[in-house]
Amino acid sequence: MSTIAMTVNGMNVTTDVEDSTLLAEFLREHLGLTGTHVGCDTTQCGCCVVHLDGVSVKSCTVLAAQAAGHAVTTIEGLAKGAQLHPVQRAFRECHGLQCGFCTPGMIMAAAELIATYPGKLDEHVVREEMEGNLCRCTGYHNIVRAILTAAEEMLGSDRVVRPAPDHPPAHAKAGG
């Protein structure tokens, strides 16, 4: 048993935990922050992504003791009060979820991607960078669209390359 102290969603937390306690377990069972999901316990799915000092980590394979002295942000801490984070808002507006199980991890990974990617974001980059986050319900189209929408809001349109629309505008004429 160890006493650990860290900041979680801006609040200082000090508590005793078993040395083998995973960060995901600590967040869910000790702090009641159940937005962090556990889908695989092997870092394959990304449902458990949280930020550790601003960097995405899969909390199912990080010990709570490893997070001691650091700042952890979960999906519950991403919004500023009632104001959703741009990625959360874009997922809602673009229907970037179905069952919602993977959504917290997707949003956390996407928020870090947008904040840290040095180049222009486009569909290919988003799909490649998000490949460690699995969704078993969708074809990822709306997830990618949501991430690009949030990126455009957060970074400006000069840093985002949007894919061509799926369908031509209704007023467009065939063949011309």
Question: What contacts 22, CB < 8 A, 6 or more positions away?
Answer: 59, 60, 61, 62, 63, 64
- Quick check: do 2-78 and 86-159 share a fold? no
pLDDT in tens, the chain (176 residues): 999 999 999 999 999 999 999 999 999 999 999 999 998 878 889 999 999 999 999 999 999 999 999 999 999 999 999 999 999 999 999 999 888 888 999 999 999 999 999 999 999 999 999 998 888 887 789 999 999 999 999 999 889 988 766 655 445 444 44
What ranges do the domains of the chain cover?
2-78, 86-159
pLDDT at res. 176: 46
86-159: what CATH class? mainly alpha
Which CATH architecture describes the domain 2-78? Roll (3.10)
pLDDT value of residue 164: 66
Q: Which residues contact 93 (CB under 8 A, 6 or more apart)?
A: 146, 149
Please report the beta strands in the chain, taking only residues with DSSP state E, as ranges in sequence order: 2-8, 11-17, 49-52, 55-58, 71-73
pTM: 0.88
Q: What is the pLDDT of residue 137?
A: 86
CA distance 165 to 144: 13
β-sheet bridge partners, residue 17 = 2
CA distances from 71 to 12, 54, 151 (A): 9, 8, 24
pLDDT of residue 135: 87
Q: Phi and psi for 22 in degrees, rounded to 5?
A: -80, 155
pLDDT in tens, 81-112: 999 999 999 999 999 988 888 899 999 999 99
pLDDT tens for each residue of 49-67: 999 999 999 999 999 999 9
